[in-house]
Amino acid sequence: MTSPTPIAAGATVADLGEFGLVKEFVGRFQQGAQVYVGPGDDAAVVRAPKGHVVVSTDLLVEGRHFRREWASARDIGRRAAAQNLSDINAMGGRATALTVGLALPRDLPAQWVLDLADGIAEEAALVGASIVGGDLTAGSEVVIAVTVLGECAVAPVLRSGAQPGDVLAIAGRQGWAAAGLAVLGRGFRSPRKVVEAHQRPEPPYEAGPAAAAAGATAMIDVSDGLVADVGHVAEGSGVAIDIDTAAFPLDEPLQAVGAALGVDPMEFVLGGGEDHPIVATFPAGSSLPAGFREIGRVTARADGAPAVTVDGSAYDGSPGHTHF
Amino acid sequence: MTSPTPIAAGATVADLGEFGLVKEFVGRFQQGAQVYVGPGDDAAVVRAPKGHVVVSTDLLVEGRHFRREWASARDIGRRAAAQNLSDINAMGGRATALTVGLALPRDLPAQWVLDLADGIAEEAALVGASIVGGDLTAGSEVVIAVTVLGECAVAPVLRSGAQPGDVLAIAGRQGWAAAGLAVLGRGFRSPRKVVEAHQRPEPPYEAGPAAAAAGATAMIDVSDGLVADVGHVAEGSGVAIDIDTAAFPLDEPLQAVGAALGVDPMEFVLGGGEDHPIVATFPAGSSLPAGFREIGRVTARADGAPAVTVDGSAYDGSPGHTHF
């Protein structure tokens, strides 16, 4: 999607004013057939023919979840949408609509906000979702609050359904975004592939509904870290899960970053978040849907035993990210 | 609703940590029968038996929409919920669920966050809505991002349906919150009634669905200012609307604030937002639903004429609030 209206070079958020900025911002968003009332009224109305709505909210705060010097506004918009769309994916659903709330410093370039809108619209278009509403307000740092609505064709797949004997499987890239963040944090811009993986995740949007249709017993997307998020499934299901690192071939860029920074690249795989692959459990003997590969096993959990093990042993690395 | 768990006096957000704070926060929220999957998974699932969902998002930023020294966390929570619930009300709908995204300074007292949760829960309970999800993250200022879902029993009432000949009517208090803000801004705490009106608005949650059922042609809630929001209806409908100030008796507290601050108290009525009354247009001759009273008339709009007039003349005061 390209910008419908060029705005004055160097114009700030304050220059456009609230109504001018809202008009330009909303102009970036096309409305799909599922939208009954789009932006511009007190609320939007989205069709929900299956009689339910799946909903999730995520916040991204400047300096914590993104840095304007490390990624373009368009990529930040894509990432903001992607991490929300991924939550619907992880329920086995498809997203239908998003709302976008933004807190914006008054001196922020207006073009940055519109590029962000383009990125959000591009990512949403991958799954056919529309941006139906939002709120723009002033703030001293950029905060992006995205809420996504969706629906499931079959029953939603929760974190709590894994059973002993199930296999653990993954669809999508894992560890690349963490490797990209590590090199950006040291002031590097390469290997380009991992930097781009951090700037613009590529969640496997077909994987969630496919896993649900194939009878997945539990499902989550990896946003905090593989061990942390598999841990959420294990805790939610009251089971133990062992991750088999041999199932993760260390792709060349991860090896290169590990060598350059002097760290074990498997740490990116086990502790990294933000690639948003889908991790699901399936009954033993299931034929896995396209895109999934087996990475571990679910067993009964013994008293005092860890919820997650890696190659049969407790994991002593950082399981993932926390926010405070 | 009272706090289910006392937390250590003086504990900060950082002391509780992300998972501790989320656990306490979510513990404040009871789930209604309309919730199929509540907090704790990748997304929540809310029943939408009427086949659509009404959705709206609002952000509140510390220092701009609220000040911690001017209102309790509980009142700020009530206000954050109220302004979102009011958007569903203004479509003629009833809210079913909310999500709450919070950016929080690490040194913020954890009790403040839990009191905020109690306030949100209390206000949501007035309409039977549940808080089904959210996101807590660190930020340098408090940002409250609320998204509300709801549904309409009849077709949603938009801003665009007002017709020449319609009457303009209001349900709920108007101007009190602005008067309260004015006295707080001068360092006063009284008259108590207007200060409380600013701290805790009381939107007429029955009025929106009642107006929709009674055949309202257009509807909005007053959140930016009476003239500004009536202007949104007039612009959206392509009509002119005249507001009759004689329809607004100036209640004693408004007169007292006007006299004390040396301003015309009618300015609070015409320019004030944040009381969240419902303003709707009805066909001439309609019997207005309970709680509504006539405050003006819709006419055809002549070329070049203002969209909104007050007592037949262009309004030269501030029509309302803008954010940048």
For chain A positions 222-251, those within 8 Å of chain B (CB to CB) are: 236
DSSP strand pairing (B93-104 vs B143-152): antiparallel
Q: Is A56 on the interface with B (CB under 8 A)?
A: yes
Q: Tens place of pLDDT for every residue, chain A, 324 residues?
A: 444 567 888 999 999 998 899 999 999 999 999 999 999 999 999 999 999 999 999 999 999 999 998 899 999 999 999 999 999 999 999 999 999 999 999 999 999 999 999 999 999 999 999 999 999 999 999 999 999 999 999 999 999 999 999 999 999 999 999 999 999 999 988 899 999 999 899 999 999 999 999 999 999 999 999 999 999 999 999 999 999 999 998 989 999 999 999 999 999 999 998 899 999 999 999 999 999 999 999 999 999 999 999 999 999 877 766 556
- The minimum CA-CA distance between B103 and chain A, rounded to whole Å, is 8
**Closest to B65 measured CA to CA, from B199, B212, B209:** B199
Quick one: A167-314 is in which CATH superfamily?
A: PurM-like C-terminal domain (3.90.650.10)
Gap between the Cα atoms of B37 and B272, Å rounded: 39
For chain B positions 127-156, those within 8 Å of chain A (CB to CB) are: 132-141, 143, 145, 147-150, 152, 156
**H/E run at residue A274:** none
Residues of B in contact with A86 (CB under 8 A): 42
Let me know: does B87 contact B168? Beta carbons within 8 Å: no
pLDDT at B1: 42
| B48/A56 Cβ within 8 A | no
**Closest to A276 measured CA to CA, from A78, A125, A107, A106:** A78
pLDDT digits (tens, 9 = 90+) for A264-317: 999 999 999 889 999 999 999 999 999 999 999 999 999 999 999 999 999 987
Gap between the Cα atoms of A80 and A271, Å rounded: 21
pLDDT at B26: 93
Let me know: does B164 contact B300? Beta carbons within 8 Å: yes
Let me know: does B37 contact A158? Beta carbons within 8 Å: yes
Number of H helices, E strands in chain A: 9, 13
Which of B35, B50, B53, B157 to mutate to probe the A interface, most A CBs <10 Å?
B53
| B137/A323 Cβ within 8 A | yes
Q: Is A21 on the interface with B (CB under 8 A)?
A: yes
Same fold, B13-152 and B167-314: no
Amino acid at B210: A
How distant, in Å, are the alpha carbons of A163, A232, B19 from that of A304? Answer: 18, 17, 20
Tokens 């020294």 -> residue: B69
What secondary structure does DSSP assign to B193-232, as a single string?
HHHHHHHS----TTHHHHHHHTT-SEEEE-SS-HHHHHHH
pLDDT digits (tens, 9 = 90+) for B139-185: 999 999 999 999 999 999 999 999 999 999 999 999 999 999 999 99
Gap between the Cα atoms of B159 and A39, Å rounded: 12
pLDDT at B236: 96
**What six digits make up the tokens of B173?**
């208090």
What secondary structure does DSSP assign to B171-197, as a single string?
ES--SHHHHHHHHHHTT---SHHHHHH
Would you say the C-alpha torsion A5, A11, A17, A18 has a positive or negative sign? positive
CB hemisphere CA count around A99 (13 angstroms): 33
Let me know: does A13 contact A105? Beta carbons within 8 Å: yes
| B64/A46 Cβ within 8 A | no
Gap between the Cα atoms of A168 and A280, Å rounded: 6
**Omega of the bond leading into B204 within 30 degrees of 0 (cis):** no
Chain A / chain B CB contacts < 8 angstroms: 237
| Residue A143 bridge partners (DSSP) | A61, A103
| B97/A156 Cβ within 8 A | no
Gap between the Cα atoms of A138 and B217, Å rounded: 33
Q: Residue-wise over A148-167: b if at least 16 C-beta within 10 A, else e?
A: bbbbbeeebbbbbbbbeebb
Residues of B in contact with A52 (CB under 8 A): 36, 45-48
Q: How big is chain B, counted in residues?
A: 324
φ, ψ of residue A136 to 5 degrees: the values are: -110, 130
Gap between the Cα atoms of A135 and A157, Å rounded: 31
Let me know: does B170 contact B279? Beta carbons within 8 Å: yes
Report pTM.
0.93
Which of B42, B86, B140, B146 to mutate to probe the A interface, most A CBs <10 Å?
B42
pLDDT at A319: 72
**Closest to A221 measured CA to CA, from B19, B103, B43:** B43
| A101/B145 Cβ within 8 A | yes
Nearest C-alpha in B relative to A12:
B324
Let me know: does B38 contact B132? Beta carbons within 8 Å: yes
| A132/B59 Cβ within 8 A | no
Gap between the Cα atoms of B203 and A9, Å rounded: 42
| Residue A131 bridge partners (DSSP) | A98
**What six digits make up the tokens of A216?**
């997945």
pLDDT digits (tens, 9 = 90+) for B73-91: 999 999 999 999 999 999 9
**Closest to A243 measured CA to CA, from A226, A255, A258:** A226
What secondary structure does DSSP assign to A10-65, as a single string?
T-BHHHHHHHHHHHHHHTT----TTEEE-TTSSSEEEE-TTSEEEEEEEEEEBTTT
| B46/A56 Cβ within 8 A | no
Fold of B13-152: 60s Ribosomal Protein L30; Chain: A; (3.30.1330)
| B149/A145 Cβ within 8 A | no
**Omega of the bond leading into A191 within 30 degrees of 0 (cis):** yes
Residues of B in contact with A147 (CB under 8 A): 55, 57, 99, 101, 147
| Partner residue opposite A56 with nearest CB, options B54, B93, B133 | B133
Flag residues of chain B having pLDDT under 50.
1-3
Sheet strand arrangement including B35-37: A130-138, A93-104, A143-152, A52-61, B44-47, B35-37
**What six digits make up the tokens of A196?**
């781009």
Gap between the Cα atoms of B66 and B10, Å rounded: 22
- The minimum CA-CA distance between A231 and chain B, rounded to whole Å, is 13
Gap between the Cα atoms of B220 and B240, Å rounded: 16
Which of A41, A89, A205 to mutate to probe the B interface, most B CBs <10 Å?
A41
Domain boundaries, chain B: 13-152, 167-314
Nearest C-alpha in A relative to B21:
A324
pLDDT at B212: 98
Q: Is A255 on the interface with B (CB under 8 A)?
A: no
Amino acid at B23: K
Gap between the Cα atoms of A96 and A32, Å rounded: 9
For chain B positions 169-208, those within 8 Å of chain A (CB to CB) are: none
pLDDT at B3: 47
With 0-12 / 13-18 / 19 or more C-beta atoms within 10 angstroms meaning exposed / middle / buried, residue A47 is middle
Q: Is B54 on the interface with A (CB under 8 A)?
A: yes
Let me know: does B91 contact B52? Beta carbons within 8 Å: no
